[in-house]
Amino acid sequence: MLYEALFVPPGAAPFPADIVDAPGIVDYHADFGTRSGDVGVVATIDDAPVGAAWVRRLHGYGFVDDTTPELTVAVVAAHRGRGIGDALLASLWSRVERCSLSCDRRNPAIRLYERHGFAIVDTDGEHSVTMLRDDASTS
Using one digit for the tens of pLDDT, what is the confidence trace for 103-116? 999 999 999 999 99
Q: What percent of the chain has pLDDT over 70?
A: 97
Contacts of 34 (CB under 8 A, 6+ apart): none
Evaluate if residue 36 carries a pLDDT over 50: yes
The fold adopted by the segment(s) 2-138 is Aminopeptidase (3.40.630)
- Residue 44's SS3 state is strand
Q: What confidence score (pLDDT) does residue 139 get? A: 40
Q: How confident is the model at residue 19 (pLDDT cuts 50, 70, 90)?
A: very high
CA–CA separation, 35 and 7 (whole Å): 26
CA–CA separation, 45 and 17 (whole Å): 23
Evaluate if residue 100 carries a pLDDT over 90: yes
Across the chain, what does the average pLDDT equal?
A: 95
CA–CA separation, 103 and 66 (whole Å): 19
